[in-house]
Structure 1
Amino acid sequence: MKILPSLFSPAGKNSKLSIVIYHRVLPEPDLLTGEGGIAQFEKGLSYLTNNFNILPLSEAVNKLRSGTLPGRAACITFDDGYADNAEIALPILQKHGVTATFFIASGFLDGGRMWNDTVIESVRRAKGDKLDLNAIGLGNHAIATLEQRRETLNLLINKLKYLPHEARASQVDKLSTIIAADLPDNLMMISAQVRQLHDAGMEIGGHTLTHPILASIDDAAARTEIAEGKAKLEAIIDTPLRLFAYPNGKPGKDYLSAHVKMIKDAGFEAAVSTAWGAARQDSDMFQLPRFTPWDQSEWRYVLRMVRNMRQRIQTV
């Protein structure tokens, strides 16, 4: 099956770089969120290693720039900094002999929790068949079945995601107070796990301090988020950070051209978005696209990767 990706991703100046994005690897699939488990991750990883040449992202970027990228080049990335990245994903990556890049929102290390996880875990643990959030303008929801909880969760996430940073934080606090569930504080990595990834040869990248949508905050706050997120990780691993991932990552919606300049000014050498596509030598190295196929058969997985190589890349 390597022939097909080789046709669309040859070596050299006409090469294309496919960057795959993950967030979590759970012991078992999460039926509420749809996040995959170990079996799904291992299957996708085997499809990648069978059909693509997996490179560390920093090496791939340098080779892409110089026109020396091997054919069928691909990279693996993880966003946010979940503890299962170190506990579960790392041993699997080591078993397959591949390097991944972990983009970590450093403000949540050592016991923090991202706003979306507060919503997810609150909805998961909410008691009863109804969830009344009318007091905070978020409606009344049926949660008697798994499907109803899933629909409620998606609706709440979509309503909250693009609120201004402080307004969203306030709403999430009120939501968690109303539901009053006992929420986990071990979802994100501790600093020692970041060092563990680094010591194992994995790459660590910046992802801001508290994962704001950069386009929703003022420029001064954005610069602080970028700089402080970078500095905290550099202090943990005692190594300069070279790579960055935009939170949420949609060009023109989640980050703007001003934020691309901020990333360059902060000393990063490349950055990734969540726009689909595969990068070429003439691509903007500070807006590299990423994509992950969801197919369960190897043939369909590879075919979707190839189709993604032909995707027009969106940038700002």
Structure 2
Amino acid sequence: MTRKNKKFVGLFLIIAILIAAIFLLLPKKSIAPNGGVKTSETATVTASLSNNLSNLNWPKGQTINAAILMYHHVGPVPAGADEIRRGLTVSTANFTKQLQYLKDNNFNVLTLAELYRAVSNGKVPEKTVVLTFDDGYEDNFTVAYPKLQEFGYKATFFIITSKVGMADYMNEDQLKELSRSGNEIASHTVHHLSLDTVSGVTLEREITESKAYLEKLTGVSVIDFCYPSGKFSDEAKDDLKKAGYKMAVTTEPSKGSFSSDKPYEVPRFRIGPTTNLENLLK
């Protein structure tokens, strides 16, 4: 090899080493395939989010008069569906009737994030109702969302992030559309694990990675959480608070109100296929 060629090879190696070093030093910023966000970027994801409510002061010792409604599927029941699937499904006709009842009787329909802001500002409207949808099923977008638009209502959608884009679940584009339209996209963990049976790193990742993924996807701060199957522990509540969540909903039956002293144990009305909303909200 000539002296000139040796110099060229040496220069090439130096440049290659410098490029490799720069690449290794750059922070990783990719969405993990399991619906979470890699840990190296979790701390920076929330740096420039909209809907940041961290400066609000949540009151103590107050009764919050608001009915939180819990939906799952909306639309027709598939042929051969089991009892669980049938029990989680509200027909399009019944859902429409329920929205019409809310409209005709002047209920104020808020998202959970809007309720948090209203409580913090001491201005919760009378006859407040929050519509929540668990799990992130596709019919929430294809059936429920158009009906919500028809009545001018918005809702809170709790998403299992590992299920995003899978069959029967909403995909990223649908979630972004919901968010752009003013609906709230909130966390329902990464893998829908029962949080009373996990702890430590596993629990922390279910709580933080789902939040970071949704915030990166929508650009909106995620402040609300839904416990899978309504199960939780003191450790789970502590981790939620540390992660920046403001409220968490359960499956405990609601009486139409809850205590501001328990923002991580908010009860809800379960809405099933035969629920009479008028009787429920009297």
What is the TM-score when the length of structure 2 is the normalising length? Answer: 0.70
1:42 to 91, 96, 112: 96
Amino acid at match of 1:236: L
- How far the C-alpha of 1:49 sits from its partner, in A, is 2.8
2:217 is paired with a residue of what secondary structure?
helix
- How far the C-alpha of 1:192 sits from its partner, in A, is 0.8
2:243 to 258, 266, 269: 266
**Distance in 1 between the 2:117 and 2:179 partners?**
20
Aligned to 2:265: 287
Indicate conservation of the 8 Å contact 1:78/1:101, yes or no: yes
Aligned to 1:303: 279
1:217 to 185, 194, 198: 198
Indicate conservation of the 8 Å contact 1:19/1:77, yes or no: yes
Q: Given the alignment of the two structures, is residue 189 of structure 1 paired with residue 170 of structure 2, yes or no?
A: yes
Q: Which runs of 5+ in 2 are unaligned?
A: 1-61
- How far the C-alpha of 1:194 sits from its partner, in A, is 0.7
Amino acid at match of 2:174: Q
Indicate conservation of the 8 Å contact 2:251/2:270, yes or no: no
Q: Which runs of 5+ in 1 are unaligned?
A: 1-12, 112-185, 307-316
**Distance in 2 between the 1:104 and 1:36 partners?**
19
1:164-221 deviation line (CA, Å, top 9, x unaligned): xxxxxxxxxxxxxxxxxxxxxx201111111011111111001110110011223321
1:26 to 75, 84, 98: 75
Indicate conservation of the 8 Å contact 1:64/1:281, yes or no: no
Q: Given the alignment of the two structures, is residue 110 of structure 1 paired with residue 144 of structure 2, yes or no?
A: no
Question: CA-atom RMSD, angstroms?
Answer: 2.1
**Distance in 1 between the 2:186 and 2:156 partners?**
7
Query: Higher strand share goes to which structure?
Result: 2
Q: 1:295 to 1:85 in 2, by over 3 A?
A: closer
Amino acid at match of 1:200: S
Q: 1:282 to 1:268 in 2, by over 3 A?
A: closer
Q: 1:293 to 1:25 in 2, by over 3 A?
A: closer
Indicate conservation of the 8 Å contact 1:83/1:189, yes or no: yes
1:86 is paired with a residue of what secondary structure?
helix
**Distance in 1 between the 2:63 and 2:108 partners?**
16
**Distance in 2 between the 1:234 and 1:15 partners?**
27
Q: Which moved more, 1:23-32 or 1:272-281?
A: 23-32
Q: Aligned residues: percent identity?
A: 32
2:132 is paired with a residue of what secondary structure?
strand
- How far the C-alpha of 1:65 sits from its partner, in A, is 4.0
Aligned to 2:10: none
Aligned to 2:148: 93
Amino acid at match of 1:305: L
- How far the C-alpha of 1:281 sits from its partner, in A, is 5.2
Q: Given the alignment of the two structures, is residue 275 of structure 1 paired with residue 252 of structure 2, yes or no?
A: yes
1:224 is paired with a residue of what secondary structure?
helix
- How far the C-alpha of 1:244 sits from its partner, in A, is 0.9
1:13-39 deviation line (CA, Å, top 9, x unaligned): 765110001111124577643222211
**Distance in 2 between the 1:23 and 1:275 partners?**
15
1:121-160 aligned at under 5 Å gives the runs none
Q: Which moved more, 1:239-248 or 1:285-294?
A: 285-294
**Distance in 1 between the 2:67 and 2:204 partners?**
29
**Distance in 2 between the 1:14 and 1:226 partners?**
27
1:136-176 deviation line (CA, Å, top 9, x unaligned): xxxxxxxxxxxxxxxxxxxxxxxxxxxxxxxxxxxxxxxxx
**Distance in 2 between the 1:232 and 1:15 partners?**
30
- How far the C-alpha of 1:75 sits from its partner, in A, is 0.5
In the comparison of the two structures, how many residue pairs are matched? 214
Amino acid at match of 2:93: A
- How far the C-alpha of 1:54 sits from its partner, in A, is 0.9
Indicate conservation of the 8 Å contact 2:199/2:235, yes or no: no
- How far the C-alpha of 1:240 sits from its partner, in A, is 1.7
**Distance in 1 between the 2:191 and 2:253 partners?**
24
